[in-house]
A = this chain, B = another copy of it.
Amino acid sequence: MSRMKIALAGIGKIARDAHVPALMASDAFELVAAVTRHEPPEGARGFRSISEMKAALPDVAAVSICTPPRGRLQLIAEAFDAGLDVMIEKPPAATLSEARQFADMAARAGCVLFVTWHSRAAAAVEPAKEWLRGKEIKRVEVSWKEDIRIWHPGQSWIWEPGLGAFDAGINAFSVLTHILPGALTVEDAELRFPANKDAPIAADIRLAHAHAAPVLAAFDFDQRGPQTWTIDIETDGGRLALSDGASAMSVDGEPVRLDGGPEYHLLYRQFQALLEDRRSDADLRPFELVADCFLLGRRKLVAPFEDF
């Protein structure tokens, strides 16, 4: 069976680190083009715009968007105008209203839209969801702390007004909204802004699960040494601990053996399944929770941050 021809838009760190290897390993997709101002990946032709690419390579059927969140509206509108199915790297957009428009545009164009949350593809996520089913949630603690110097080296967009440390924290929200049985509500938040930046470097958030159980989250972008991506969940049937960004899991201290490969391999398999069903998946709940933190959050100024 011939593979579906796909393009990548935006050839930055996440495209090179994650998308290109996943596509190279895929037996469903063939990476033939890149829309980028930079060098295209090996074996792919480079184009300046989607319409230019579509004119030269009319059999490209889908595009995977890896550009920074600002400015995607126009790009995605062009993709749907060209009849392409679209997969989107997180966070889906700079604003909720834009992200909402993507789904409307996909429906109007009769195209498939996949708003991805790569942390949901981590190995422990589905086993955790299954284990939590039917249990009462008592308390949740989230610690998502990483060093922006490692994960976003030299990326100026990360400090534009917007997510900041929530660019990582939104991964935790994407896992929580997927595995917890009830809905999450933001009750209180403190956002810490470096005096020289327009985005928060850290945040402490208090949420409620299903109106009742406390969910405490701490996000930090200035974590030296070991990186921390953990979710601990106390239930009436034991204690679940997710670590390494939900790629590892233990129950009451006992490690659980997990299957599962790289997150982006699974994301492209999920995209393939959506394409076969001609079905979209555009869950914006993680992004809504982030917007709620900004809406309700108290701001605190902290020391300037010199990153690069």
Contact = CB atoms under 8 A, between A and B. Distances in A.
Given A104-B183, A185-B101, A77 B211 contact: yes
Interface in A270-297: 285, 288-292, 294-297
Interface in A64-100: 73-74, 77, 94-98, 100
Given A285-B97, A292-B96, A297 B161 contact: yes
Size bin of chain A's contact surface: 20 to 34
Copies in the complex: 2
A299 interface: yes
Interface in A34-56: none
Nearest to A291: B291
Given A198-B298, A297-B161, A298-B198, A101 B291 contact: no
Interface string A13-49: 0000000000000000000000000000000000000
A224 B186 CA distance: 35
B183 A97 contact: yes
A299 B299 contact: yes
Contacts of A73: 185, 211
Contacts of A289: 97
A162 interface: yes
Nearest to A77: B211
Given A74-B211, A211-B74, A184 B97 contact: yes
A198 B191 CA distance: 12
Interface in A94-151: 94-98, 100-101, 104
B211 A288 contact: no
B294 A295 contact: yes
A97 B186 contact: yes
B95 A296 contact: yes
A183 B291 CA distance: 19
A295 B96 contact: yes
A211 B75 CA distance: 11
Interface in A167-186: 183-186
A163 B295 CA distance: 7
Interface of A: 73-74, 77, 94-98, 100-101, 104, 161-163, 183-186, 188, 193, 198, 211, 285, 288-292, 294-299
Closest A-B pairs by Cβ, 6 of them: A291-B291, A95-B292, A294-B294, A294-B295, A96-B288, A101-B183
